[in-house]
Amino acid sequence: MSNTDHNNVKEMHEITDNTIATDFGDRKVSDQNFSKIIALPKSALVNCGNPTKFNVKLVYDGGMRYLKLTPIQFKNLEEI
């Protein structure tokens, strides 16, 4: 599978009236020393405003569990 095929958006789903979810497909969890890493496509980051940091939360919603990534926007470079 070429890199361009791997980074394509698979589907977009409307969840509620104001929320749209974009499916970037299955992602492999890789090991790096004592951490686990999931690669995101560049288009996902560009659509979030190209942030350099994210807040990461594990959400328990009924029977579902998922990671919530929220981009952190900075007003100036000193906050980074």
Give residue-wise pLDDT tens across range 6-51: 455 555 565 666 777 778 888 899 999 999 999 888 888 887 888 8
Domain-by-domain residue ranges, the chain? 1-47, 48-80
Predicted model pTM? 0.59
HSE at residue 74, side-chain half, CA atoms within 13 A, is 11
Helices (H), 1-80: 3-6, 42-47
Number of H helices, E strands in the chain: 2, 6
Nearest to 43 by CA among 68, 25, 66, 65: 25
